[in-house]
Amino acid sequence: MSVQMVLLPVFVLVGLTFALLFGMMRTRRGAPASGEPNRAKQLADCYRDQFELPVLFYLLIALALPLRRADFVIVLLAWVFVVTRFAHAGIFVTSSDSAPRSTAWLASALVLFAMWLYFALKLLLLI
């Protein structure tokens, strides 16, 4: 796979992180006047969440590229991971219902686990 194809999902996820950052800043600035401190906290929590599970995703891509193990499966799973992270963030910032948010988080965690398992097997067993 080309470097661009491998890095595109990374750039999209980074874009989500910056979008949440700017949304959080805008909401925090207007929260006292609008009376929406809960919304500002939701965005802040969602932004902070982008530095938990996605860090393992970034690490996997950073290892897979120079080791030349970023193939079609890794890229496909990367896109699935990014889609689940968007779903998680969308639910996080629009609802206080934790059940669908937890489901989206679990889906992203399972996809990431599958990515790491595939990467480890591919690297260690040279498949």
pLDDT of residue 39: 81
User: What b/e sequence results for 101-113 when a residue is b if at least 16 CB atoms lie within 10 Å of its CB, and e otherwise?
Assistant: beebbebbeebbe
Alpha carbon distance 44, 93 (integer Å): 9
Alpha carbon distance 5, 54 (integer Å): 18
User: CB under 8 Å to 56, separation ≥6 — which residues?
Assistant: 112, 116
With CA atoms as reference, report the closest residue to 18 among 41, 46, 38, 37: 46
Summarize pLDDT for 21-54 with one digit per residue, the tens: 999 998 888 766 666 678 888 999 999 999 999 9
Arithmetic mean of pLDDT over the chain? 92
Alpha carbon distance 37, 48 (integer Å): 16
pLDDT of residue 34: 63
pTM comes to 0.91
